[in-house]
Amino acid sequence: MTTARAAARVVLRDVGATVRRSDVALVYGGLVTLGALVMAFLPDATAAAVTAHVSGNLDNLRERPVEALVASAFVLPHLSNLLLVVVLVIAVGYAQRWLGRAATVAVMVAGQVGASLVVGAVLTTGIARGWLSPTIAGVSDVGVSYVVAGVTGVLVARVPRRWRWWYLGVLLAAWVLPGVWQRTFTDVGHATALVIGLLLAFVLGRAVAAAATTHGWRPGWARGDDRHSPFTPDRDERPGGSRGPDQP
């Protein structure tokens, strides 16, 4: 029991330190949280109008695509989605710790934009073929879930091999399984963002490992070191060691 508590303290300390060092996680998470709190105090009609204006739905993608793709990632559909912001901040923090600022932002954009465009294409096809009602083009589509799905997907390359399949199972349960019975267009977006993240994990994981090996250094996750986890520093990240390529 004492060992479990000690391990939990180590994990929490590492999570806290990682998030504090991630300006991307703090800025994005802070803006989304602030926006959610402001929306909570707005009259219902005003909040609904704001959500409709910034939504990444098909109507807005046709009229003002850039604004819809960007703004929709900063508005939460419900205040309860602040719980997902916690996951967002932690995931983005670890992504920045591994990949650095620019690559992390690129992964976030890829998840949000890629998923939104695929959803738009699916809805356009469904409406054109008569499978879906044209009114679905105006249904609200806002939130951080596409970003979270993409970032949590890319982090699969950071998870030690012995835990990787378990982690992937959790991702599938979170982002794909609900779509089996709900069958909404956002489920298509979640699955798309996850696939984008997994593809980027393969590419970025190989790139970082190759760059590290070139300089005679390989992080613990690349060595298959089971003692390493996303919550513990690599050998060369410890005090006195050289900084590896997964440092921001």
Task: For residue 201, give every residue at least 6 positions away whose Cβ sits within 8 Å of its Cβ, in sequence order, or none.
Answer: 153, 154, 155, 156, 157
Place 85 in a pLDDT band, splitting at 50, 70 and 90: very high
Rounded-to-integer distance, Cα 189 and Cα 176, Å: 10
List the chain domain ranges.
2-234
With tokens 């970025």, the residue in question is: 204
Q: With contact defined as beta carbons under 8 Å apart, do 202 and 101 qualify?
A: no
- Domain 2-234 = CATH 1.20.1540.10: yes
What is the torsion angle, in degrees rounded to the nearest 10, for the CA atoms of residue 133, residue 137, residue 140 and residue 145? 100
Q: What is the pTM of this model?
A: 0.83
**Which tens digit of pLDDT belongs to each residue from 89-102?**
999 999 999 999 99
Q: With contact defined as beta carbons under 8 Å apart, do 218 and 209 qualify?
A: yes
**Which tens digit of pLDDT belongs to each residue from 189-204?**
999 999 999 999 999 8
